[in-house]
Structure 1
Amino acid sequence: MARITKRKTLAFAGALTVAALALAGCSGSGSDSGSGGDTLKLWHYESEDSAMGKAWNEAIKVFEKETGAKVEFEEKSFEQIQKTASQVLDTDAAPDLMEFNKGNATAGFLASTGLISDISDAVDEYGWADKLAPSLQTTAKYDENGVMGGDTWYGIPNYGEFVGVYYNKDAFAAAGLEIPKTYDEFVKVLDAFVAKGITPLAEAGAEYPLGQLWYQLALSKADRSFVDDYQLYKNPVDWQGPEISYATDTLKEYVDKGYIAGDVSSVKAEDAGVSFINGTAPIFVSGSWWYGRFVQEATGFDWTMTAFPGSDLSLGSSGNLWVVPENAANKDLAYKFIDITMRPEIQAIIGNNGGLPVAADPSDITDPKSQELISTFNGILDADGLSFYPDWPAPGFYDVIVQELQGLVTGAQDAATTNANLGAQYEEGTADYR
C-alpha cells in the first residue's frame, strides 16, 4: 500500500541543500557515446505499488516491445539520488534517464551546473508542451542561474500534486455539519467541532504540514504577483505585508482557539496523517500524495478532498521530473521512454491508482475516488492556481520554516518576530538568485 515516506516530506520541501549537491571531486571524464548500446539505463525511486511505479512498469513493457531495446532499471532511494547526483552524473556511470526533484535548489541546481541536458528540442519534437498547463511547465524550465520559470526545458513531469483539505464526511454528519464551500463556513465548522470538544485539524509542527497551512493562509490573501515575487524573485517580498502577516497571525489564532492541538510543535507528519486515518481528527490540510494511502487505509468512514475554501491559489506543482543527464549514453531512447509515459493509457494507470496524471483522457479514469481527485486538480489548473511550496525559494528554507513556526505556536516568539526571522533567512538564502 502507498506510504508517506521521507521522499514526500522533501517533495513538500523541494529542499536539497546546495552543500548536498556540491561538486566534489568531479572526474570530468565524460562518457562513451556508444557504451550504452540498445539499453536504456533508468533510475527512479517510486515504489512498485505506487501509482507512478505501476504506470512506469507498464511503460517499460511498452518501450521494450516497441523499440527492441532493453531497460536496465535500478531502484534507487530518494536519498541515494539526492546525495550523490552531482558526483555520479559527472561520470560515465550516469543513467540515461532518472527521476529528480523539481525546484531551484534541486533540478535547477543540476541545470545551472550543466549536469542535466537541455531537452528543448525533444519537447518540440514530441509536443510535450501542449500536454502541460503553464504552472506545470514552470517547474520544468530553468534559466541560466537555475531559477525555475526560465526559457529552457530541463525536465518533463508526467504527474502533478497539490495541497487541499481532507474532510471526514461521517464526522461532519454526526456533528450536523456540512462540508464548507467558503472560508467563513470553514471557520464556523472549526468552531463547531471545538465546541463539541474535538480538535478539528490534524496538524504537525515538527515537519511539513504546518508550513503548508501557513503558506495556504498567505495564498488566500494573495494573487499571482505575490507568488512570482516569492517564488521567482520578480520583486522584493514584504515580510510584514498583508499576505504573510495574515498567515502568521491566523496560524497562531488557530492554536489559541483550539483548532490545532497545543502540542503541535512536536507532532510529525505521519502522526497527523494517522490521526485523520483513525478518525481522531475530522480535517487534514495536506497533499494529494496522501490520497492513495487514504483510499487503502481510511476505510472506516466516508471522506472527501477539496481545494482550500475561499482561495484562488493552492500549494502544488508538477510532480518530480524526468531528467536526462548530460553524460547519458542513449538520450534518444530516454526521450522515447518519456513520451510513452505521457500517453493516455499510461497516464490512466496513474489516475486510476490515486495519482494525478497531467495528460490523461478523462474517459479513461474509471475509479470514482480518482475522478474526484483529478477533477479538483484540473479545476486548480484551469484557474492557474498552482503556487508551489513555501520553502522552494532557498536551499534549507524548509528547516527555517519549521523552526520559526514552532517558535510561533509554542509562544516563544510573536508573529512580528516570526515574520522578521523568516524574512531575514529568505533574503540571505535567495541573495545569489536575485
Structure 2
Amino acid sequence: MLLQRVPVETRSSSDWLARRDIQLLLYLAAGLGNPAVIWLFVRGQPASVPLFINTLIALTIAIVVSWHALSRIREYAKARQLSYVFPINILSFGGVLVAIAILRSSYSISLFVAGAMGAIIVSYMLSLYNRRLRRPHFIVSGGRSSEIRLEGQFIPAPELVELESLVQAKRLNASLVADLHYDHPDEWERLFAKAALAGVPVYHYRQVAEMQSGQVKITHLAENDLGSLIPNVPYMSSKRLIDIAGSLMLLPFLLCAFVIIALLIRLDSKGNPFFIQERVGFRGETFRMLKFRTMKPRGPITDAGEQRDDAMTKSDDDRITRLGRFLRKTRIDELPQVFNILRGEMSWIGPRPEAKALSQWYESELPFYSYRHIVRPGITGWAQVTQGHVTEVSDVNSKLRFDFYYVKNISLWLDFLIVLKTFRVIFTGNGAK
C-alpha cells in the first residue's frame, strides 16, 4: 500500500480550481488576456501582425515554465511556494526576454510587461488558494508514526468507527498515514485496504516524515533503504553537463572579480589570498579544494586532533578577518571552487565536502557517513540552506539526514529549489560562520 511521493498539497478531486490544468488555463488567460485586450480593443490593430504574435508566443513560453516550476518545487519538503512566486516568475519572464534578444525577434515590450504583470498577480492568488486547500493527513497511532509532528495539516486520526463510516460513504477528504510495518489490529489493517480501494491515499509514516522534515532517517538503514537512496543516474549525467556549461559561462566574469577580491584580501591581511585544503569528495576520493582565504594565516599542523580542531569554524571565530567575515556571509569565498567544478571534483549543488580530518572523525562516529559521497559535493546544498553550518557530531548526524534526503530526491527541481534558498541565505546571512 505504499503509494507515490506524498504531495505537500493534496486536494479534493471535486475542487475544480485546484486542478493543475485549470490553473494553467487561468495563468494563460491572465497573461495573454491583458496584451490581447490592449492590442485588439485599445490600439485597434489586427491580430495577424507579427509583433503581436511573437509577443503572445513569448508570454506563453514564460507562463508555462513559471507554472510548471512552481508546481514541481511544491513536491519537496520545506518549499514555501508563496515566497518563490516572484523569483520564479522573474527568472522565467527574464529568461524569455534574453532569448528574444539573442534571436533578435520583434516584440512589444509594453504588451509583454502587461502580460507578465497579469500572470504574476494570478500566480500569487492561486498560490494563496493552494495553501488554503491542503488536505489533512490523519496520523494513525502505533509504531514509529509518533515521529511525525502533529501540526498544521498533520492531525491525529479519528476513531476507527468514524473513519470506517467516512470511507464507506466515500466522504474521507484526507489521507491516512501509519507505520505499515507495525502490527496493527486486524480491523485497522482492513480499513487501510478499504481506504486504498476507495481511492484514499494511504502512506507509510516514513514518506510523510521525510516530506515534513526534509531528512532521511539513518539510524537503522537496511539494504532496501540503501537501494532507495541510489541517486537519479540519468540526471546525474545531465547535471555534470550543466555544471560545466554554467562554469564556462560564468568564468570570464568571475576571473575579473577574483583579481579584485584577491587584492582586497592582501590589503586586509598578509598572506596568500587563496586557501587550499584537502577535502573528501566524490566516491570518497580526496581533492584539494580552492577558496578565498577568510582567516588569519597559520602554520602547518601535524597532530590529527589539532587538525580536526583547526578545521572547525566556530561561532564568532576570532581567526576570521574583517573582510573574511563579509566573504563568508555572502558566500563569495566559495566562488574559486568553479575550478574544482571544471576538474570534475565538485558540483554547483551537492553535499558540502568536509575537511579530511573532520571526515575521518565523522566516519568513525556515524554509521553510513561515507554514503554521502555517492554524489559530487557542492558549493551549496540542501543541508546548507536548511540547517546551516555545523561541526559537532550531534549536529552532523542531523546534517547527514539532510544529505541523504538530497541523494534520495536529487533532481533538477530540487536543485532549483536549493538555488532559490541559497539566494535567500546570502541576502539574510543565516547559516554563515
Q: Same fold (TM over 0.5)?
A: no
- Larger Cα-atom Rg: 2
Higher relative contact order (CA 8 A, sep 6+): 1
The TM-score bracket by the shorter chain reads: under 0.3
Structure richer in helix, relative to its length: 2
